[in-house]
Chains A and B, each alone.
Chain A
Amino acid sequence: MIGEGQIGGRQLLLILFIMRATIGIAFLPIVTVAGPMEDAWLAGFGAAIGSALIALVVGSLSSKFPTQTVVEFAQELLGTVFGKIVSLIFLWVFLFVAAVDVRMYGEVLVTAFLPETPLFFVIAVMVVVSSYAAYQGIEVMGRTADFIFPVFVLMILTTTVAAVPSINWGRLQPIAAKGIRPILRASITPTFIALQVMTLPVLLPRVSKPEKATAYAVWAVVLASFLLIPTSIVTIGVLGADLASRSVFPFFNLARAVRISEFLERLEALVVFPWGLGLFVAVSIYLYCGAKSLAQVLNIKDYRPLIPPMAVVWVAMSIQVSADMFELGRFFLPEVLGPFALTLIAVPHGLLWLAYGVRKLKKKGN
């Protein structure tokens, strides 16, 4: 357990895919955030393009420093103090996004399955298991993702395909009746959920071929965005645009509505299982990145001792992050999440890119 090991490019792709797809499908923000829209699935294309751009901005900077995490190269570009402050923004993103993810999954579980279990307990179990994974290092997480990915995709696709016979195709019309603006608005939230890509600058030095990492990251977010298209088509087609947009977890409701035969109905488990597995990958990566970058900010050699205390903060954070499900839901409105995520992505990366450009120019000047 001395070296933390490495992950291959494929594993990076799977990790980022799972992270993005989990939250994307859990909330299906395409469908819910922009009000009833029959053609909301079109926003999937917008999300794919938008998130690919984010991945490019984040990844291409990071791949200029293939052996350094964001904490290290930020200090190199901006000086020790400012670099550390910028790294704190990244740390905050990890903490916050993971807290929101965990909270959402906890809410689904408590609402749907475990009405008498305290939310705290559910969240704590999830974080404990994830910290075990983070403790084992990035290589183990990559291998776990290898295993989880097929299960994840298979179960999501099974649910989707099983729902196809129940689609009322009339519910999917009209397409783009109100012009392109509502579609763009609907694609804002799913785009900015790509905040997950901000883990890339921490993971990148651990990827066996860092120069290809950006390409893998772009592929991951694009593929995950495309996964949203069939799921949202099916959800709207089965539930109808109105019902789908008003439910908190539309895909979950879809699974409830599916009925294949007398013996095979109520496929929620098929949804909850991959969510659990996917979320577990996501949270452990956030924990790893959080602990890793905190360790580097504080100049601690080994990140592992930081995991238990961070896990405690994580649990508390996800309880405190919002009062209830609906407040959390409002957070995902394009008017809220858009500026929020844009700031978190643009400010640190703007600064870093600027510093990088200045440095390049200086070098040329010499």
Chain B
Amino acid sequence: MRFLLKVLRGIRRRRGRTLKQLVSDADYHEIEAYIEQESLTGKLENTEALIKAAFGGSPDLVFRRMRLAANDQIEVLVCYIDGLVDMHLLAEAILGPIGSELPFDLPLPAAPKGAYDLLGQSLLHGAALQEVDELGDALKVLSKGFAVVFVEGVAQGQAYAVQGWVERSVEEPTTESAVRGPKQGFVENPRVNTSMLRRIIGAPELWFEELEIGGVTKTKVTLAYIKGIASNDLIEEARRRLQSITVDAVFESGYIEEYIEDAPFSPFPTLLRTERPDKAAGSLLEGRIVIITEGTPFVLIAPAVFASFLMASEDYYERSWTSSFLRLVRIIAMFISLTLPSFYIAITTFHQEMLPTPLILSIAAQREGVPFAAIVEAIFLELSFELLREAGIRLPKVVGPAISIVGALVLGEAAVQAGLVSSAMVIVVAFTAIASFASPIWSMTLSVHLLRFPIMILAGSLGLFGVVMGLSAVLIHLSALRTFGVPYLEPFSPVIFPQWKDAGIRAPLWMMDVRPNRKSEQDRIREEPEQKPRPPQS
């Protein structure tokens, strides 16, 4: 800090206060305003001091003052943030050429501007550079891992992309694993993610738009779509929603989701998230848009209709019959996980006559010693299951087995033997739990978990009638939901029969020759018709 102040001593502010006073008063807005006034002057001393002031003399900020080896009249300042740049690349492609004879035989110009241009052509092997005219721009790119080069006497800087930091490599997606299909998932680096999409979709129609969201975090958010397949209205709407976000921080795509979703108070998610590039690419080809957020492997897909939460990308890789069957299983599983405990409560409390006599007798015998009503018992067990699940996620991995033993033994066995709960209820809750995890998208699983409780309470107070009323309310809510202008229950309601080929079932690929019509009439033909395989008749 003292050194910094010593450097700053020479610089005077035009309107009275010195930068020194500013830095020690430490109000960043004033420093910012000051820096904005002080444009790049070409004086390296000045520039360095200002950058230092902006970063508060942070120790990871590195300045290298060098003289051009070919002409020691020319002074060069290289500035970067340690840890964000690839040191090998920096040494080889930036510091190296400056410090040694530049390998060409042009007469070395003495004028600083000539040297500046020459550096621009030769540093980083002549790869594209970003000109920096404002100090503010220089500060921004520094934080993104660029190295900025200034030349004494030139009121400009050159920013070189030499980023290199430790990051997770491309791995198998952990939340959406598939038996068959690509094994790579998105990572935190948005450039890697866009490259993965590009590798799948080889057409230039795949367009990316980059935005910076987050006043402090300055997170890169990329809007991806296929021009000509996605409707222009949808793209415009997505762009408008993204641009209207003004928030200081974006850490995960969940932040974006909360600012752009259609129904913020709905228990149902209206944006799909995935970490599978193949799924994102598939959505792009159906005319949807994909939003990639820097720093998270989860990308957002919009619009996301209800049916898409029951689809897994594997559905398209396995054969049509099995995929359709699995989708059916998932639909049933979702229904079970939403209503099974409620049905159990309703039937054992109000409609015993609906069960066959031997079964109701056996349930009654189990429930004999249980002091609670079925609804209390169910809520107790469901809550303890939610607890177990939550604990299972948060626990250090080494204690995991302990929890499962305690859960299985204490809740499964001992609670039944102690007569706190009936074993039939344990079976119901366990079955519900298994069913709830058959949903391929975690956010939908959570929504269903949440809705289960009010329906259980309705079942406990009004029986099957309560369940029907609860489900009706859910149905109205779903019918009223929209996601980016598309009705949430499409294609079931409003009924769009051609799309049923890829909703509840998955028709063979050669049958789906037209893209789903999401308000876009553009480029709807997916493939040539009549491609049903016809083996030669021998």
Contact = CB atoms under 8 A, between A and B. Distances in A.
26 contacts: A8-B494, A109-B465, A113-B350, A113-B463, A113-B464, A114-B462, A114-B465, A117-B461, A121-B462, A125-B466, A125-B469, A129-B473, A140-B476, A140-B480, A143-B487, A143-B493, A144-B479, A146-B494, A146-B495, A147-B493, A266-B353, A266-B354, A268-B351, A269-B351, A272-B468, A276-B472
Contacts of B469: 125-126, 129, 276, 280
Contacts of A269: 351, 354, 464
Contacts of B463: 113-114
B356 interface: yes
A132 B495 contact: no
Interface string B446-464: 0000000000000001111
Contacts of B489: 143, 147
B491 to A, nearest CB: 11
A133 B480 CA distance: 9
Query: Which among A146, A269, A280 has the highest number of chain B CB atoms within 10 Å?
Result: A269
A340 interface: no
Contacts of B437: none
A117 B356 contact: no
A125 B471 CA distance: 13
The interface size bin for chain A is 20 to 34
Given A262-B356, A280-B468, 11 more contacts: A114-B465, A121-B462, A136-B476, A136-B480, A140-B479, A143-B487, A144-B472, A144-B475, A144-B476, A277-B472, A280-B472
Nearest to B487: A143
Contacts of B385: none
Nearest to A125: B469
A141 to B, nearest CB: 8
Query: Which among A117, A143, A268 has the highest number of chain B CB atoms within 10 Å?
Result: A143
A113 to B, nearest CB: 5
Contacts of A265: 356
A132 B462 CA distance: 19
A277 B462 CA distance: 15
A273 interface: yes
Contacts of A122: 462, 465
B492 interface: yes
Nearest to A276: B468
Contacts of A326: none
A88 B480 CA distance: 30
Interface in A156-192: none
Nearest to B472: A280
Interface in A255-313: 262-263, 265-266, 268-269, 272-273, 276-277, 280
B347 to A, nearest CB: 9
Query: Which among B466, B475, B495 has the highest number of chain A CB atoms within 10 Å?
Result: B475
A272 B480 contact: no
Contacts of B495: 10, 146
